[in-house]
Amino acid sequence: MNNLAVKNLTLDSREVAEMLKKNHADLLKTIARNIEYLIKSKIAFNEFFQENQYKDKIGRNLRRYDITKKGCEFIAHKMTGEKGAIFTATYINKFYEMENHLKNRTLPFEETKPQITTWKGKPVIEVKQLSKITGISRFLIHSVLWDNKLTLRNKDFKHYKKENKNRDYSSSSSISVLFKEVVIMLCKKYGIYERHKEFIDNYFKEEEKLEYKPKESISSSFENLEAEANKLMQDLLKQRFEIDEKIKKLNATGLVSEMKVFRNNKGKMQIAISL
């Protein structure tokens, strides 16, 4: 069984409130107070409680928590008597059922039948979809792949929605997606690559996808070119500044000779050293 997936199993705080025969709003206050205690003690509260949202009957986004097994143990520890015993037995049974389901779960590509999405013609998988397939929480995927995920907003998100018309993004203002290489890296990191290799290979079959090229106006193309040119200039200036600093430090040691760089008649770069 995948230990990481087991570790990421959680119960909805609304369900836990029912198990405790407690008002959900009161449970949220208790959890929030406990999180403050954990933060002050520099203890990772996400190992116990993970903040999330849900939509109520009139479409409002309301707060809830995903409560881990450790979080349930934390709550149970503060309870005594019959009520505490019943809650402990109930949450243990819940996690046992989920772990047993996870243990016997198989995910061949043919059974999952995922809806493949693309970005500029290349297959990408949305973070929330990968979370459902692998059992790794979205929170963990976002935190681990902070620099490797691609988050599409504004114009890019509009192009993405146009490219993937068969999906509903009416309640989203952005989307985070992953390319094949990043998915493989994540799965290998947590030792689940072999289990999901078939799914990954089938999902990212690029030859089956048509390349999407969004139409751009002349003005937007120029804006993109101008932005790229400015970014390149910033990178070059930063590199030159760093190199100049290193040269000054070397000269300050008194160990290097005076040097000049120039191009000869053939256009080749040469270095002249003063003896």
Per-residue pLDDT at 71: 93
- Please give the Cα distance from 232 to 268 (Å, whole number): 24
For 110, 135, 198, 264, 268, the CA distances from 183, given in Å and listed in that order, are 19, 13, 13, 49, 44
Per-residue pLDDT at 105: 53
117-138 per-position pLDDT tens digit: 999 889 999 998 888 887 777 8
CB 209 within 8 A of CB 116: yes
Per-residue pLDDT at 107: 47
Which among 176, 193, 175 is positioned nearest to 184, based on CA atoms?
193
222-275 per-position pLDDT tens digit: 556 777 777 788 888 888 888 888 888 888 888 888 888 778 887 787 887 876
Per-residue pLDDT at 5: 55
CB 102 within 8 A of CB 135: yes
pLDDT averaged over 10-residue windows placed end to end, the chain, 275 residues: 62 92 94 91 88 86 91 91 91 84 52 76 91 79 83 92 89 91 86 82 67 48 67 82 84 82 79 74
Other beta carbons within 10 angstroms of residue 200's beta carbon come to 17
Per-residue pLDDT at 3: 56
Per-residue pLDDT at 177: 95
- Judge residue 60's burial from the number of C-beta atoms within 10 Å of its C-beta, 0-12 exposed, 13-18 middle, 19 or more buried: exposed
Per-residue pLDDT at 143: 76
For 17, 74, 75, the CA distances from 30, given in Å and listed in that order, are 11, 12, 9
Contacts of 123 (CB under 8 A, 6+ apart): 116, 117, 180, 203, 204, 205, 206, 209
Per-residue pLDDT at 183: 92
Per-residue pLDDT at 205: 80
- Could you give the dihedral angle defined by the CA atoms of residues 50, 53, 54 and 60, in that order, rounded to the nearest 10 degrees? 160
The end-to-end CA distance of the chain, in Å, is 69
3-class DSSP assignment, residue 155: helix
Q: Where are the alpha helices (DSSP H) in the chain?
A: 3-7, 13-20, 24-40, 69-77, 81-103, 109-112, 127-134, 138-144, 154-163, 180-189, 193-203, 218-253
